[in-house]
Structure 1
Amino acid sequence: MIKSDHITWQTSQVSKQERQQLAGHQSAVLWFTGLSGSGKSTIANAVEKALYDQGVGSYVLDGDNMRFGLNKNLGFSAADRTENIRRIGEVAKLFVDAGTLTLTAFISPYRADRDQVRALLADREFIEVFVDTPLAVCEQRDVKQLYAKARRGEITGFTGIDAPYEVPNNPEITIDTSAQPLEVSVNQVLVYLQNHGYLGGRRDD
């Protein structure tokens, strides 16, 4: 790919801080990561609805949805997975600049890829949410039978079976959906946001 040397970043007349002030809350990325079937999208969408009910501007970038458009030319090789996350990271950064609390739901199996997205953002703008649901539970939930197909060799490079998942070292939030109902998981995220000053009020960090 040839990069042009004739491009310049266009600075807006409205700052990120001004957009946040208008919105009445901080912007950041809630990065939900975990195995397929762990509950990432379910929690992210439920958190988005809860934030909406509170008048907080948020948006979910879902792994499957992004592959319908922006990332439809990518497969599931290690290189394509890395590029998938790189693109999403850049999109999420723009959402944060727009003053939006952005929720992403991607397996994002490689620690280095997640760390690269964190490095794109300012301090406190990347909140890693590790949905730490056991593999056996994820397989039980798999209505598409993707795990079964992977175990039979019909699908290759499937995370958790014949491709690795690198567990986060120090996630801001860890959730095990096999140990608690959805509403508890959602509340866990909301409490974190409230206690750390993203929604206004006190900040515990």
Structure 2
Amino acid sequence: MAHNIVWHQTTISKEDRQSLNKHKSGILWFTGLSASGKSTLANELEKRLYDRGLRTYLLDGDNIRHGINKDLGFSPEDRTENIRRIGEVAKLFVDAGIIVLTAFISPYKEDRNLARSLVNDGEFIEIYVKCSLEECEKRDPKGLYKKAKTGEIPQFTGISSPYEEPDHPELIVETDKQSLEQSVEQVIQYLVKKGIIQQ
């Protein structure tokens, strides 16, 4: 870390921005296996929040790897750095008074806990998008599981690399047992209950 750097306090606070936006900000962290439905759920949820007039932004795993994280691979070290950077970017959105949705496999508990530690209590909502490996393999929209099983893709989560399920996520959404509409509604009701958005 560079020396002689001092945090500059801005005049406009996070609370000021939240007040302007008329809702609280926070991170909705969608985690789960590839093809579990993280991006689909996050996209539909963002649309519903946007339709309510809320300020949102969606950070999606594949999209981020086209830009800010295009220099990273899929080794355990690179995965950790990938999530560290996302956590820092998401923290900026929270400070901007925005509800940021992040859709990343984020397979390691330690990395997700680090992202959680960057913001205040109640501002990080871990949403475990739970779906059986069998169903994920069946869906396989990008053909990744097929490639992983033939060895074309090394270190693939769920096949040749581990996925550590969350111990105490704020929400568990079982996408292999309920519809997209039901899953979206489950998240919305949680946000209402916690006072992040209005009914």
Following the alignment from structure 1 to structure 2, what is the Cα–Cα distance between the partners of residues 127 and 63? 17
> Residue in 1 aligned with 2:44?
46
Q: Deviations over 1:3-45 (max 9, x none)?
A: 3212222211001011101100000000000000000000001
- How large is the RMSD of aligned CA atoms in angstroms? 0.9
4+ runs deviating over 4 angstroms: none
Match 2:128 to one of 117, 127, 130: 130
Aligned residues: 199
> Does 2:164 match 1:156?
no
- After superposition, residues 15-164 of structure 1 pair within 5 angstroms as 15-164=13-162
TM-score normalised by structure 1 residue count: 0.95
> Residue in 2 aligned with 1:173?
171
Following the alignment from structure 1 to structure 2, what is the Cα–Cα distance between the partners of residues 70 and 39? 23
TM-score normalised by structure 2 residue count: 0.98
Identity %: 58
**Is the CA contact (8 Å cut-off) linking 1:24 and 1:200 kept in structure 2?**
no
> Does 2:3 match 1:11?
no
Q: Deviations over 1:124-167 (max 9, x none)?
A: 00000000100111111113221111111111100000100000
Supply the AA of the counterpart residue of 1:39: G
Greater displacement, 103-112 / 151-160: 151-160
Secondary structure in 1 matching 2:166 = coil
Secondary structure in 2 matching 1:114 = helix
> Residue in 2 aligned with 1:195?
193
Match 1:184 to one of 182, 185, 191: 182
Secondary structure in 1 matching 2:30 = strand
